[in-house]
Copies of this chain bind each other. A is one copy, B any other.
Amino acid sequence: MRLLFAGFGTVGQGLAELLVEKGAFLSKRYGIDFTTTGIADPRLGSLYNPSGLDLEKALVAVRDNQSLAGYPGDGYKKGTLEMIGEAEADVLIEATYTDIKTGEPATSHIRNAMERGMHVTTTNKGPLALFYQDLAGRAATSNVRFLFEGTVMSGTPVLNLLRETLAGSDIREIKGILNGTTNYILTRMEEGMSYGDALNKAQELGYAEAVPDADVLGWDALAKVTILARVVFGATGNPFDYFCEGITKITAGAISKAKDRGKRYKLIGKVWKEGSGVKASVQPEEVDLTHPLAGVMGATNALTITTDTLGDVTVVGPGAGRTETGYSLLIDLLKIGGAL
C-alpha cells in the first residue's frame, strides 16, 4: 500500500513512527506492506520517490533540523496539490491543519486525490464538518474508501463504534467532552486556580495554542459535534449553524456553587434527534456527579451514546496526542487494506 502524506506535523509524524515501529508486525499479521512514496508539508518541505522513501530518515531529519531538507537527495520542489496530481500512491493521508471556516486546503487535497482514484484517510475536521456528504459521494463515485476515525477523539474508536458496532440500534443522542484543553482548564479551576492561571498552565503544557480561541470559545468541540451530526444523523448543518458557547464566562464561584449542589461544569457537545430533525449544541452544562462524564478529568475526552438497545454507553479515552491521533490513521489504513 503506497502512502502519500499531505501534512507531516505532529499527527503525520505520529503515524510515521507507528509505521516504522510496527511495520514488520503489521506485514506479518495482516499481510499489508506499507510504502511511503511522498511527503508534502508546507513548512518542512517535501519529498517524493515512487520506489519508496525511508520514513525513519525523514523522521530523523525533522527531529534534528525541523525540516525535510536533510533527507538524502534533492527533495520535491512543487506544491502539495501538484504532488497529489502526479504521485504514484494508493492512499492520501490528509493531516494538514484544520480550518473549520473554509475546510481548505484539506478539502481540495481530498477531492483531487479521490479523482485520481486514491483512498483517503484524514484527521482534519474542516472537510468533514463542512463537506462530509459531498466527499462521501465523491468517494462512492470514485470507488475509493474515505475514513476519518481521528477527527473525533483521536484514535479512541468512537466513530467505528457508532457506525459499525452499534449497528441495528437506534441512536438517539450523542453527548460528551470533545475538547481536552477546556476540560483541563475546568479541572484546574475546580481545584482553585483562576481561569487565567489555568489557561496559562494549559499553554505551558502544549494543550492550548497561543491564541486559544478555537478551544476556549468551543469551536473545536463544535467542529466535532457537526461531524457527528452529519455522519451519524445525516444532518447538513455547518458548524456555525449550531448554538456554541465556550468556557470563557464560567467563574470559579459558579464552579464552586455547582459542586455544592453535587454537579460539575463540563463543556458538553451534544447532538440529538428531535422530531424529524437533528439538533446540536456546544455549551457549559452542569453534569450530575453520578454521570460517567462527570468523572472525566484533565485533558481526557469522553462520549456518551444513548441507544434504544443499550441505554447509555460511554467511551472515555484520549482526545488528542501524537501517537493517539497517528494511530487513528493506522486503524483507517488497516481497514482500507481489508485487514479489519
Residues of A within 8 A of B (CB): 18, 22, 25-26, 29-30, 154-157, 160-161, 164-169, 289-292, 294-297, 300, 302, 309-318, 323-324, 327, 330-331, 334, 339-340
Contacts and interface: CB of A to CB of B under 8 A. Distances in A.
A340 B309 contact: no
A316 B297 contact: no
A41 B27 CA distance: 47
A30 B297 CA distance: 40
Nearest to A26: B168
Given A166-B157, A168-B22, A314 B315 contact: yes
Contact of A324 (B165, B167, B310, B339): B310
A339 B167 CA distance: 9
Given A309-B155, A309-B323, A165 B169 contact: no
A324 B340 contact: no
A331 B168 contact: yes
A19 B136 CA distance: 31
Contact of A296 (B160, B164, B292, B310): B292
A123 to B, nearest CB: 14
A20 to B, nearest CB: 14
A318 B324 contact: no
Contact of A315 (B160, B315, B327): B315
Contacts of A295: 289-292, 294-295
12 contacts: A18-B309, A30-B167, A157-B161, A157-B165, A164-B340, A165-B165, A165-B331, A167-B334, A167-B339, A311-B317, A313-B317, A314-B315
Contact of A314 (B30, B165, B317): B317
B316 A311 contact: no
Given A160-B165, A165-B161, A334-B167, A324 B296 contact: no
Contacts of A161: 157, 161, 165
A157 B310 CA distance: 10
A340 B168 CA distance: 10
B318 A315 contact: no
A38 B199 CA distance: 63
A161 B155 CA distance: 12
A238 to B, nearest CB: 28
B169 A310 contact: no
Nearest to A291: B295
Contact of A318 (B154, B157, B310, B334): B310
B324 A309 contact: yes
Contacts of A292: 292, 295-296, 300, 302, 316
Find the residue from A161, A169, A295 having the highest chain B CB count within 10 A: A295
Given A292-B316, A294-B295, 6 more contacts: A155-B309, A157-B161, A161-B161, A292-B295, A292-B300, A313-B315
A156 B340 contact: no
Contacts of A167: 30, 331, 334, 339-340
A294 B290 CA distance: 10
Contacts of A330: 168, 309
